[in-house]
Amino acid sequence: MPYQWITSAETPETLRSEKTAGTDELDAYRVVLFNDEDHSFDEVIFQIIKAVNCSRAKAEKLTWEVHTRGRAIVFSGPIERCIYVSAVLEEIALKTEIQTG
């Protein structure tokens, strides 16, 4: 099951209202983060926290999944939010991909 974080300013109702036309599900899009050998665990943890506004424990779990499996879904939700999350992760040259369906 993909992860989804809701910031204090976002509620499920807000996210539903941002749903992209033509999609039937709230979580039709997801951001996948890929492993690399260029970034430290702390750099990745910090950037995940910044991108998805999650706890350090959650970011550590995702970072470990990226490290051991080669990739992890770090966010799922509306396309607009996925684009934002991906852009924040890529600020430090992390490799991401937005997937659908």
Give the global pTM. Answer: 0.74
CB atoms within 10 A of CB 11: 11
Q: What does the DSSP 8-state code read for residue 50?
A: H
Q: How would you write the pLDDT of the chain (101 residues) with one tens digit per residue?
A: 343 443 334 433 333 333 333 334 566 899 999 999 999 999 999 999 999 999 999 999 999 999 999 999 999 999 999 999 999 999 999 999 999 98
Does any domain span residue 20? no
pLDDT at 71: 98
What is the reported pLDDT for 4?
Answer: 42
Which residues make Cβ contacts (< 8 Å) with residue 77, sequence separation at least 6? 4, 15, 26, 27, 29, 30
Residue 12 lies in a domain: no
CA distance linking residue 73 with residue 2, whole number of Å: 6
Report residue 16 as tokens: 């539903």
Structure tokens at 29: 């899009």
Domain total for the chain? Answer: 1
CATH code for the domain in which residue 91 is found: 3.30.1390.10
Domain that holds residue 75: 25-100
13 occurs within a structural domain: no
Q: Is 42 inside any structural domain?
A: yes
For residue 91, tell me if it sits in a domain. yes
